[in-house]
A = this chain, B = another copy of it.
C-alpha cells in the first residue's frame, strides 16, 4: 500500500500453561490490540506459550526479529509456576535487584490489609537491573520495560485490571513518545438480516473501487454482521475525512439492513435511543434467563433507561408475577406467541416501563419436540400501544442460541422505536 507510512509492528506474547490447556480464555490480547490500533500501532502476531524457559526465549527471539515492540503478559505471580521474571533477567543479561518503590508498595499492600507478608511476596519487588520498572498500583507484580537492539520488550502481569492499568499509566504514553506512528482509522457499520455472501455480492463494485489504503472486513457476530472499514494515512484528520466518504457510500448501499454506524452493542444502541426520547424499558425473560438484563446492565448508566426484569424461568413465575393465564399456557405451551404476548403485557404493568421485551423459547440441548424443536423462539417487543411478535428458528448450541435470541429481541425493539 503506497499511501501509508512504515507500520510500527507489535507482537503480543501471552505466557501461561492455563492458556494452552484452555482453562482461561484470553481477553487481554483483544483489549491490547484495540488500544494499540487506536494509536496507529499494528499487531503483527499474537502468540500464547507455556511457562517453559525454552519457549519463552524462543518467542523473544522470533518476535524480536519481526516486530518493533514485544508486549508480554503473564507468568509474574508469586507462585512457583511463574518463571517469566528469571528468564527475562537471563535473556536481557541483568541481575535481580530490589526496587525500593515496589518494595514499599508491597509492604503497604500487606500492612493495610492486615495480612502477614511472605518472602515470595517480598520477592515481587525484585526486578532485573537492566529494566525500567513500571509501577503497578493495582497489585504486587510490577511491569518491566527492556530495550535491546532497537526493539522494546515490556513484561506485565496477566491479571486483566493490573495489565490495563500498567498499559494506560506507563506503556502507551512511553510508546507514543518513541514512535512516529501512522494514523489508523476504523469505522464500523452494524447490519442485521442479510448473510455475508449476499452483502459481499452487493458490495462487489464498492470493494473493487476502494483505494489501496482503505480495507473492508466482514465480522460476523451472532445475529449481526459488522462491516469495518479501515484507513491508513499520514495524519488522523485527513485519513478520517478520506474514510468518511467511503463509509457514507457503504451506508447508502445497505439502507435496508443497517442497524447503527458505530461499533457498539445493540444494548448500547437501545440505550442511546431511549435516552434521546426520555423513555424506559424492561424485560420479561424465560429462555434467555437474565442474559438480556445482563447485556443491558453491564453498560454504565443503564439505570437511567432500564428498570428491571422478571426472569420467569418456571411457568409458575409467568402466572404469579406476570399474570400469564393458566389457560393460555395449557392451550399454547410456554413457547408460543400467546404466552410472550401476555408476558409482555404483564411485565409492562408490573415494571411500569414505556417499552418491553419478552422472550420464550427452547435453547437446548434438550426440551425440543417435533412441533417445537430446539431453537424455537418467540419474541414480543414494543409498548402497550404497539407490540410486535416474531418467531425465530435457531440452530446453534445453547449459549449461542441465548445470545442470538437477545440480539434478535433487542433489534426488534430497536426497529420499533426508530
Is B298 a contact partner of A289 (Cβ separation < 8 A)?
A: yes
Contacts of A46 in B (CB 8 A): 19-20, 47-48
**Interfacial residues of chain A within 201-224, with CB under 8 A of chain B in the complex:** 201, 207, 215-221
Q: Per-residue CB proximity of A366-390 to B under 8 Å, as 1/0?
A: 1000000000000000000000000
Residue A291 is within 8 A (CB to CB) of chain B in the complex = yes
Is residue A333 within 8 Å, beta carbon to beta carbon, of the partner chain? Answer: no
Question: Given A290-B291, A321-B310 in contact, is the A207-B80 Cβ separation under 8 Å?
Answer: yes
Contact between B320 and A352, CB atoms less than 8 A apart: yes
A368 shortest CB reach to chain B, Å: 12
Q: Which residues of B contact A49 (CB under 8 A)?
A: 44-45
How far, in whole Å, are A195 and B159 apart by their CA atoms in the complex?
Answer: 14
B317 x A308 contact (CB < 8 A): yes
Contact B297 A289 (CB under 8 A): yes
Q: Is B48 a contact of A196 with CB atoms below 8 Å? A: no
A30 within 8 Å of B (CB atoms): yes
Min CB distance, A67 to chain B, in Å?
Answer: 12
| Residues of chain B contacted by A290 (CB below 8 angstroms) | 285, 290-294, 297, 309, 311
Q: Does A161 interact with chain B (Cβ within 8 Å)?
A: yes
Residues 292-347 of A contacting B (Cβ, < 8 Å): 292-294, 296-298, 300-303, 306-314, 316-317, 320-321
Contact A17 B351 (CB under 8 A): no
Tell me which residues across on chain B come within 8 A of A396, comparing CB atoms. 161
Which residue of B has the minimal Cβ distance to A158? Answer: B220
CA distance A62 to B55 in the complex (A): 13
Is A293 a contact partner of B311 (Cβ separation < 8 A)? yes
Residue of B nearest to A221 (CB): B24
* B-chain residues with CB within 8 Å of residue A400 when the two chains form the complex: 160-161
- Are A200 and B321 in contact, CB atoms less than 8 angstroms apart? no
Chain B residues contacting A20 (CB-CB under 8 Å) are 33, 42-46
Check B316–A352 contact: CB distance below 8 A.
Answer: yes
Residue numbers in B under 8 Å from A45 (CB-CB): 20, 47-49, 55
- Name the B residues within 8 Å of A293 (CB-CB): 285, 289-290, 293-294, 311, 313
Q: Chain A, 275-298, contact with B by CB distance < 8 Å: what is the 0/1 string? A: 000000001010011111110111
Which of B21, B44, B161 touches A43 (beta carbons < 8 Å)?
B21
**CB of A402 within 8 Å of the partner chain:** yes
Stretch at the interface among A95-103, A113-121, A144-152, A243-251: A113-121
Given known contacts A115-B195, A314-B303, A316-B307, A219 and B62 CB-to-CB distance under 8 angstroms: no
**Those of A51-82 within 8 Å (CB) of chain B:** 55, 62, 77-81
Q: Are B25 and A30 in contact (CB-based, < 8 A)? A: yes
Contact A300 B200 (CB under 8 A): no
| Least distance between A172 CB and chain B CB atoms (Å) | 14
New contact pairs (20) apart from A19-B29, A289-B297, A290-B309, CB-CB < 8 Å? A21-B34, A22-B29, A23-B34, A24-B221, A25-B25, A26-B26, A26-B29, A45-B48, A78-B197, A80-B207, A120-B200, A283-B311, A285-B290, A285-B293, A290-B297, A291-B298, A293-B294, A301-B366, A303-B314, A309-B313
26 pairs of residues in contact across A and B, judged by CB atoms under 8 Å: A19-B46, A20-B46, A21-B37, A21-B186, A22-B30, A22-B33, A22-B43, A23-B228, A25-B27, A26-B26, A47-B47, A62-B62, A81-B218, A120-B197, A285-B290, A289-B297, A290-B291, A293-B294, A298-B399, A303-B314, A307-B316, A308-B311, A308-B313, A309-B311, A311-B311, A316-B352
Binding site for B on A (CB under 8 A): 17-27, 29-35, 37, 42-50, 55, 62, 77-81, 115, 118, 120-121, 159-161, 164, 186, 195-198, 200-201, 207, 215-221, 226, 228, 230, 263, 283, 285, 288-294, 296-298, 300-303, 306-314, 316-317, 320-321, 350-352, 364-366, 396-400, 402
